[in-house]
Structure 1
Amino acid sequence: MATALKYLRGYPANLLQQVSLLLEQGRLGDYLQQRYPEQHGVQSDKALYAYAMQIKQEYLRNAPGLDKVLYDSKLDVVKHALGLHTAVSRVQGGNLRAKKEIRIAAVFREAAPQFLNMIVVHELAHLREFEHNKTFYKLCEHMLPGYQQLEFDLRVWLTWRSSAQQ
């Protein structure tokens, strides 16, 4: 069962038991559908960029700009469960320019709007705080109250999705 719960490593045993039980009973998908019945409408890279910029403008006006925000079909969801933020440095003339990018795994095109919001907030928070530390999670919670519950539920959704594909 440990492999089935690979997205939930580090969570308390009682939560893992509850998820395992729902999974074994074939009720995890129903639980998630009841809790998150909608799918978001942000399907194109252009729409995703606009969506991320709107959140950035509201909460992180003074943070560095974003050059690109896109869905990436090559992102390995196990290694990068949420997405990837990068700063690509290039020499332009005599200057060194850093391009900031956010890449979100393409699988999240099918996610609930709350999950997409959580992923974008997570990646945007890295513009201010690189490490996953207390300050980082405090910023995520400020931008999206209930962030930690949504992150857990997203990981449950990934667990259900991967078990349904087996």
Structure 2
Amino acid sequence: MPPLKYLAGYPADLLDQVRRAIDDGSLGPSLARRYPEGHEVRTDRALYDYVTGLRSQYLRNAEPLSKVVYDNKLQVIRHALGTHTTVARVQGNRLKAKREIRVASLFKEAPAAFLRMIVVHELAHLKESDHGKAFYALCTHMAPDYHQLEFDLRLWLTASELAVG
């Protein structure tokens, strides 16, 4: 059994349950039943509209985003499913900041709930830079089932890797 790299840090009894689901072949099908709905957010423009819609709903006072794109260079192996960056430039005597969000391209084919979870995570970084208590409170404000979605996304990544490998 390969190591469950996406689930590192979870309790041993939970990992045993996951291993049993992998062994009996039920992990992928159970996730497919739980998250059957896909999404239509396939282009960078659609992703920008989706992200700015969530931002305007939950973070009206946050700085605007200058760019939101799918990025096929983001590597899940390096634990980057999405990134947020702030680029500061000096223009004359003013400092201009541009904020960008990049989402790994694999989310074009992911269930809608997982895309939302990644977007919520990256949007929360507009207000909270660290993964602290306030950060996760903001994530659960935008997606009340955030923690379950994060765990299920890790399961989905594990099942997807096993299906390919």
TM-score (ref. length: structure 2): 0.95
Q: Extract structure 1 runs of 4+ deviating beyond 4 A.
A: none
2:45: which partner in 1? 46
Mapped contact 2:36–2:111 kept (Cα < 8 A)? yes
Alignment of 1:152-163 (within 5 A): 152-163=151-162
Compared with structure 1, are the counterparts of its residues 28 and 96 closer, same or farther at alpha carbon in structure 2 (3 Å cutoff)?
same
Mapped contact 2:87–2:98 kept (Cα < 8 A)? yes
SS across alignment from 2:77:
coil
1:145: which partner in 2? 144
1:36: which partner in 2? 35
Point out the more displaced range, 120-129 or 13-22: 13-22
Point out the more displaced range, 77-86 or 96-105: 77-86
Counting matched residue pairs gives: 165
- Counterpart AA for 1:118: M
Mapped contact 1:7–1:81 kept (Cα < 8 A)? no
- Residue-by-residue CA offset, 1:65-100 (whole Å, 9 max, x unaligned): 111111000001122343111111223333222210
- The separation in 2 between residues aligned to 1:42 and 1:34, in whole angstroms, is 21
- The separation in 2 between residues aligned to 1:80 and 1:69, in whole angstroms, is 19
- Residue-by-residue CA offset, 1:94-147 (whole Å, 9 max, x unaligned): 322221000010011111111111110000000000000111001100111110
Q: CA deviation at 1:2?
A: 5.4
- The separation in 2 between residues aligned to 1:126 and 1:163, in whole angstroms, is 31
Point out the more displaced range, 134-143 or 90-99: 90-99
Point out the more displaced range, 8-17 or 138-147: 8-17
SS across alignment from 1:163:
helix
1:93: which partner in 2? 92
- Counterpart AA for 2:70: Y
SS across alignment from 1:86:
strand
Q: Which runs of 5+ in 1 are unaligned?
A: none
- The separation in 2 between residues aligned to 1:36 and 1:70, in whole angstroms, is 24
- The separation in 1 between residues aligned to 2:88 and 2:47, in whole angstroms, is 23
TM-score (ref. length: structure 1): 0.95
